[in-house]
């Protein structure tokens, strides 16, 4: 008999997820999360600033990402902080920008904790930008856009898909920004962005690994408590109108393997509906025994693979479907059959067996993500920034596993309807199958 | 004493090695901190270098097909079993080795092992499954051909190694050529006689360990293997332009073949790592990053690598830039390499590189899974002494500035670069002006790959 997640094991898992975490907030609003672990040899930090492409609009798309690049240009005290870090064995120095936030992170040895906190507090408050640095970094971002989007069929497809799916919300804009906007950034706009969003009351500092909590609190107080909070521009949420008609766009590119990307806008991260859709995604396409793999790959032989997934953000989630399209003349038929099989799957496959399978998948994923310190760091920051509280990490498995099959079906039937999907097809110029 | 308070680096690695009766090895690394388990089976010398001529991808498809039905389970039932446990096989192939990994929750440990044993010893290899896998591999290949960086890399390797050992997952032609009989023969001659190494990491109980040892003993026996050799291609100074009309950005790969690392050359290998870190590692202070990105804004990323196997090795630099900047990129790169070779590095750069490599090493051994893999990989892949992983930091510390600069002088050879640019045809005129490369060869993507798939 296959093992199931019985209540004894579920309780065990709960104790593993609740690893030691200390959270507090400075008087200036900086949220601090400390997760010590003496069993490893290094520590990591992440400074998350609650600004991403979600706050942008046409004219300044990609500005959060551009700013992420400029944060590496140094301050008066640390004009070449990358070399400072390199000289003190602070490694894996990097950053990323998402729709919802921008994060700066690195790994270090515990005796460099004070240096790291000094540099990061300096970057958060004392950055000085010059035109020369902006111009040079703009070239780099333009190259990055070429690599990730303009010269990359998959990148173009995702950019167009989000444009098609969101008519009003800022999630329609690419994180890297449009070419025209990248070309037009100026110091005034960037300094305004810095002033409005780079503030302790709009940031979260996470430190994990081998470090002293006492020392961390002391240094955080020394370097961050003196920073002044700013009034953060809080834009009211843009409500994306409900999609009632299917949307479609075809992109012509010289590709050997035409493909399709589909998206459906769904409720936000942390909502019960989003968790239900996460479960549905696994049932539909996790593993070769999944509903869509069996129906679309094995039975109908129309596809060689299919994948689904849920990308969740602060305001909305996006249910994604991807598959290659080797038989171009069957494009409509494949899409129609796939949507039918999704509905069939919702009707017949939200079973106890499949829900147990998904429990095992989630548990595996979560436990393996707790193995590496940096993965833990990102988990803590994601939950704190996107959901408002890192403790929601502890609740995730309980919420997921507590949803009834009826509720899951209802959510699936509501959101995964043909008319709610936007679809991008990328195919080659002559419309011929390869 | 906590793990982090290590006094000797030998305290960092703490595995158990067992030689079973059949002559094969099992490595255990226990860790109770999380209820997970991982089985990793490494088949040394069963990678794509072993693919017969014209059957590129055979090692890969053989490994993949083994999970499409085994023992008492047909393909669907086997997948159901694995997927229900929340897991799937992870199959990896490089030029030298194949490996199969299965991980999951520790209370599923026995079940996972039984499934893995079946897959490794009783695969069905059915024609129906092969036809589906073939179709999937062909589609993957087509997707590969749409990825500019991947194509450029493959083109560079095929030019540097004169068409040998390139397509680990097969080309369109070879995938269509492979038959089920080829797969069965490869499985029998290579995987069954592949002297696999088993690595177990995670929460292991004594009963399960004993069961695994006794079943592994009956699964495989030790077999003597023929050693293959490989002639290192002579250095060239060649530039080839692979063109495709819709490319807005150029991918540039340059480098050359070098001698493989021998088992007694641990210090040399680590010295090479230092050199690569300084020249084009992933830090923001590497020479390539500072010059080509920070100073000139020519690229988003440019990196240098040395890749070693026991048969051959290579040095490579890779970057991307817009079509109009290709000439400047290459000129700057050549000038930088010459300066690097002629003037070497300084003390500060050496210190930084050592700190970075130390940090990377400590991160590598952070989890039991990666610790075990790292240990087995380097002792079995390069045949390094078994004491090496524990002595890595000591050896790293012992490397002097003189050691590094001496190796730079003998190993960095800008005159011998085999270079390729994969870009729009418009770059041809600017590349022809480059004095460093006597002859520019221009090939179109369609002519080179000639992999037109007929409708099946």
pLDDT digits (tens, 9 = 90+) for A49-66: 999 999 999 999 999 999
Non-local CB neighbours of A95 within 8 Å, separated by 6+ positions: A68, A71, A72, A102, A103, A104, A105
Q: Which of residues 189-228 of B touch A (CB under 8 A)?
A: none
Contact A151 B148 (CB under 8 A): yes
Give percent of chain A with pLDDT exceeding 70. 96
Using CA atoms, how far residue B178 sits from A91, A351, B55, B169, in Å, is 46, 40, 6, 12
- Decide if B260 contacts B234 (C-beta within 8 A): no
Residue B222 scores a pLDDT above 90: no
Which residues of chain A are within 8 Å of residue B452 when distances are taken between CB atoms?
A: 434
Confidence of residue A434 (pLDDT cuts 50, 70, 90): very low
Non-local CB neighbours of B359 within 8 Å, separated by 6+ positions: A42, A89, A91, A92, A107, A109
Q: What is the mean pLDDT of chain B?
A: 90
Q: Over chain B, what HEC string results?
A: CCCCCCCCHHHCCCCEEEECCCCCEEEEEECCCCCEEEEEEEECCCCHHHCCCCCCCHHHHHHHHCCCCECCECHHHHHHHHHHCCCCCEEEECCCCEEEEEEEEHHHHHHHHHHHHHHHHCECCCHHHHHHHHHHHHHHHHHHHCCHHHHHHHHHHHHHCCCCCCCCCCCHHHHHHCCHHHHHHHHHHHHCCCCCEEEEEECCCHHHHHHHHHHHHHHCCCCCCCCCCCCCCCCCCEEEEEECCCCCEEEEEEEEEECCCCCCCHHHHHHHHHHHHHHHCCCCCCHHHHHHHHHCCCCCCEEEEEEECCCCEEEEEEEEEEHHHHHHHHHHHHHHHHHHHHHCCCHHHHHHHHHHHHHHHHHHCCCHHHHHHHHHHHHHHCCCCCCHHHHHHHHHHHCCHHHHHHHHHHHCCHHHCEEEEEECHHHHHHHHCCCCCCCEEEEEHHHHHCCCCCCC
**Residue A385, min C-alpha distance to chain B (Å):** 26
Q: Please report where in the chains the tokens 């923001």 appear, as a residue.
A: B284
- For residue A75, the 8-state DSSP code is B
Confidence of residue A8 (pLDDT cuts 50, 70, 90): low
pTM, two decimals, is 0.94
Which residues of chain A are within 8 Å of residue B301 when distances are taken between CB atoms?
A: 147
Residue A316 scores a pLDDT above 80: yes
Predicted pLDDT at A195: 92
Residue B438 scores a pLDDT above 80: no
Q: Decide if B1 touches A, using CB distance below 8 A.
A: no
Residue B230 scores a pLDDT above 90: no
Of B33, B103, B105, the CB nearest to A360: B105
Torsion angle of alpha carbons A150, A152, A154, A156, nearest 10°? 10
Non-local CB neighbours of B429 within 8 Å, separated by 6+ positions: none
Q: Which of residues 309-368 of B touch A (CB under 8 A)?
A: 320-322, 348, 351-352, 355-356, 358-360, 362-363, 365-367
Which residues of chain B are within 8 Å of residue A9 when distances are taken between CB atoms?
A: 35, 105, 107
H or E element in which residue A203 lies: strand A203-209
Q: Decide if B142 touches A, using CB distance below 8 A.
A: yes
**Residue B110, min C-alpha distance to chain A (Å):** 10
Predicted pLDDT at B192: 92
Of A39, A144, A305, the CB nearest to B3: A39
Q: How many whole angstroms separate alpha carbon A233 and alpha carbon A231?
A: 6
Interface test with A, best of B363, B425, B426, B444 (most A CBs within 10 A): B363
Of B80, B132, B146, the CB nearest to A257: B146
Of B107, B108, B249, the CB nearest to A151: B249
Confidence of residue B163 (pLDDT cuts 50, 70, 90): low
H or E element in which residue A407 lies: helix A405-415
| Average pLDDT of span A173-201 | 96
Contact B135 A304 (CB under 8 A): yes
Q: Decide if A39 touches B, using CB distance below 8 A.
A: yes
**Residue B235, min C-alpha distance to chain A (Å):** 31
Confidence of residue B453 (pLDDT cuts 50, 70, 90): very low
Residues A130-182 pLDDT 10s:
999 999 999 999 999 999 999 999 999 999 999 999 999 999 999 999 999 99
Confidence of residue B224 (pLDDT cuts 50, 70, 90): confident
Q: How many whole angstroms separate alpha carbon A343 and alpha carbon A284?
A: 10
- Decide if A340 contacts A378 (C-beta within 8 A): no
Predicted pLDDT at B244: 95
Of A40, A152, A357, the CB nearest to B84: A357
**Residue A376, min C-alpha distance to chain B (Å):** 13
Burial class of residue B331 in the structure, from the number of CB atoms within 10 Å of its CB (0-12 exposed, 13-18 middle, 19+ buried): middle
Predicted pLDDT at B1: 32
Of A211, A230, A227, nearest in space to A115 by CA: A211
Predicted pLDDT at A233: 81
Helix (H, G, I), strand (E, B) or coil at A305: coil
Q: Decide if A386 touches B, using CB distance below 8 A.
A: no
- Decide if B201 contacts B26 (C-beta within 8 A): no
Residue B6 scores a pLDDT above 60: no
Which residues of chain B are within 8 Å of residue A106 when distances are taken between CB atoms?
A: none
Q: What is the DSSP string of A88-140?
A: TT-EEEEEEE-SS-EEEEEEE-GGGHHHHHHHHHHHHH-B---HHHHHHHHHH
Burial class of residue B53 in the structure, from the number of CB atoms within 10 Å of its CB (0-12 exposed, 13-18 middle, 19+ buried): exposed
Q: How many whole angstroms separate alpha carbon B265 and alpha carbon B112?
A: 39
Residue A208 scores a pLDDT above 60: yes
User: Long-range contacts of range A179-182, CB-CB < 8 Å, 24 or more positions apart?
Assistant: A179/A142, A179/A145, A179/A150, A181/A58, A181/A59, A181/A60, A181/A61, A181/A62, A181/A63, A182/A62, A182/A66, A182/A138, A182/A141, A182/A142, A182/A145
Which residues of chain B are within 8 Å of residue A428 when distances are taken between CB atoms?
A: none
Contact A39 B248 (CB under 8 A): no
Residues B359-418 pLDDT 10s:
999 988 888 888 888 888 888 777 888 788 888 999 999 999 999 999 999 999 999 999
Contact B35 A367 (CB under 8 A): yes
Confidence of residue B5 (pLDDT cuts 50, 70, 90): very low
Predicted pLDDT at B381: 73
Nearest chain B residue to A352 by CA distance is B84
Of B404, B153, B156, B434, nearest in space to B279 by CA: B404
Residues B76-85 pLDDT 10s:
999 999 999 9
- Decide if B423 contacts B251 (C-beta within 8 A): yes
Residue A242 scores a pLDDT above 80: yes
Q: Decide if B84 touches A, using CB distance below 8 A.
A: yes
Q: Decide if B455 touches A, using CB distance below 8 A.
A: yes
């Amino acid at each position: 008999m296959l093992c199931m997640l019985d209540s004894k094991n579920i309780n065990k898992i709960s104790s593993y997820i609740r690893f030691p975490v200390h959270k507090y907030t400075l008087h200036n609003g900086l949220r601090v999360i400390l997760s010590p672990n003496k069993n490893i040899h290094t520590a990591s930090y992440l400074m998350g600033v609650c600004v991403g492409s979600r706050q942008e609009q046409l004219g300044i798309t990609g500005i959060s990402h551009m700013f992420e690049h400029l944060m590496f240009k140094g301050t008066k005290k640390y004009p070449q902080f990358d070399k400072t870090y390199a000289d003190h064995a602070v490694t894996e120095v990097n950053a990323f920008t998402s729709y919802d936030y921008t994060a700066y992170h690195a790994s270090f040895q515990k005796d460099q904790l004070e240096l790291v906190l000094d540099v990061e507090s300096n970057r958060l408050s004392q950055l000085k930008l010059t035109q020369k640095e902006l111009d040079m970094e703009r070239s780099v971002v333009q190259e990055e856009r070429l690599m990730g989007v303009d010269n990359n069929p998959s990148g173009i497809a995702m950019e167009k898909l989000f444009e098609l799916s969101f008519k009003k919300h800022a999630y329609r804009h690419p994180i890297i920004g449009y070419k025209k906007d990248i070309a037009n950034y100026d110091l005034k706009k960037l300094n305004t962005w810095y002033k409005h969003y780079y503030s302790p009351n709009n940031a979260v500092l996470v430190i994990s690994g081998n470090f002293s909590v006492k020392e961390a609190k002391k240094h955080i107080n020394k370097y961050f408590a003196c920073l002044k909070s700013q009034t953060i521009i809080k834009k009211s949420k843009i409500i994306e109108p409900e999609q009632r008609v299917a949307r479609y766009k075809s992109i012509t590119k010289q590709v050997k393997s035409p493909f399709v990307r589909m998206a459906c806008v769904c409720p936000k991260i942390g909502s019960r509906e989003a968790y239900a859709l996460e479960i549905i995604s696994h049932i539909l396409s996790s593993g070769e025994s999944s509903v869509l793999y069996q129906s679309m790959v094995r039975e109908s032989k129309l596809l060689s693979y299919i994948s689904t997934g849920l990308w969740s953000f602060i305001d909305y989630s996006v249910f994604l479907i991807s598959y290659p399209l080797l038989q171009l003349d069957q494009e409509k038929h494949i899409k129609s059959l796939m949507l039918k099989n999704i509905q069939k799957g919702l009707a017949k496959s939200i079973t106890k067996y499949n829900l147990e399978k998904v429990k095992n998948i989630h548990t595996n994923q979560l436990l393996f993500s707790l193995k590496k310190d940096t993965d833990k760091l990102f988990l803590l920051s994601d939950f704190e920034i996107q959901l408002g509280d890192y403790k929601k990490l502890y609740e995730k498995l309980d919420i997921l596993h507590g949803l009834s099959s009826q509720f899951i079906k209802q959510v699936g039937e509501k959101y995964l309807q043909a008319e709610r999907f936007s679809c991008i097809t990328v195919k080659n110029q002559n419309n011929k199958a390869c | 004493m906590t793990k982090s308070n290590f006094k000797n680096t030998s305290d960092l690695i703490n595995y158990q090695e067992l030689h079973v009766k059949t002559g094969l090895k099992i490595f255990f690394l226990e860790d109770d901190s999380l209820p997970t388990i991982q089985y990793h089976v490494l088949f040394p010398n069963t990678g794509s270098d072993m693919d017969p001529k014209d059957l590129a991808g055979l090692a890969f498809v053989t490994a993949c097909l083994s999970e499409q039905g085994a023992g008492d389970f047909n393909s669907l039932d086997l997948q159901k079993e694995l997927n229900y446990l929340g897991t799937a096989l992870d199959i990896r192939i490089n030029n030298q080795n194949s490996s199969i990994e299965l991980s999951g929750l520790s209370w599923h440990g026995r079940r996972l092992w039984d499934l893995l044993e079946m897959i490794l010893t009783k695969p069905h290899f059915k024609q129906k499954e092969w036809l589906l896998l073939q179709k999937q591999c062909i589609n993957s290949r087509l997707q590969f051909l749409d990825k500019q960086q991947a194509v450029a890399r493959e083109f560079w390797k095929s030019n540097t190694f004169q068409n040998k050992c390139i397509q680990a997952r097969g080309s369109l032609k070879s995938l269509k050529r492979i038959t089920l009989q080829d797969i069965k023969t490869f499985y029998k001659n290579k995987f069954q006689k592949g002297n696999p190494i088993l690595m177990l990491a995670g929460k292991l109980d004594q009963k399960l360990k004993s069961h695994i040892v006794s079943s592994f003993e009956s699964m495989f026996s030790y077999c003597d293997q023929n050693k293959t050799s490989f002639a290192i291609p002579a250095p060239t100074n060649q530039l080839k332009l692979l063109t495709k009309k819709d490319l807005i950005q150029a991918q540039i790969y340059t480098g050359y073949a070098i001698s493989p690392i021998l088992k007694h050359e641990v210090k040399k290998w680590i010295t090479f790592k230092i050199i690569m870190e300084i020249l084009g590692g992933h830090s923001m202070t590497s020479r390539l990053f500072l010059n080509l990105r920070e100073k000139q804004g020519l690229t988003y990323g440019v990196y240098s690598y040395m890749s070693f196997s026991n048969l051959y090795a290579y040095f490579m630099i890779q970057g991307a830039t817009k079509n109009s900047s290709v000439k400047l990129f290459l000129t700057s790169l050549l000038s930088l390499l010459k300066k690097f070779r002629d003037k070497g590095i300084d003390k500060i750069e050496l210190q930084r590189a050592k700190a970075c490599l130390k940090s990377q090493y400590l991160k590598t051994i952070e989890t039991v899974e990666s610790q075990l893999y790292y240990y087995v990989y380097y002792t079995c892949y390069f045949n390094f002494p078994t004491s090496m992983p524990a002595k890595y930091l000591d050896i790293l510390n012992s490397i002097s500035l003189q050691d590094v600069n001496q190796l730079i002088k003998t190993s960095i050879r800008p005159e011998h670069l085999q270079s390729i640019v994969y870009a729009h045809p418009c770059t041809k005129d600017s590349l022809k002006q480059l004095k460093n490369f006597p002859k520019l060869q221009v090939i179109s993507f369609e002519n080179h790959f000639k992999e037109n798939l007929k409708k099946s």
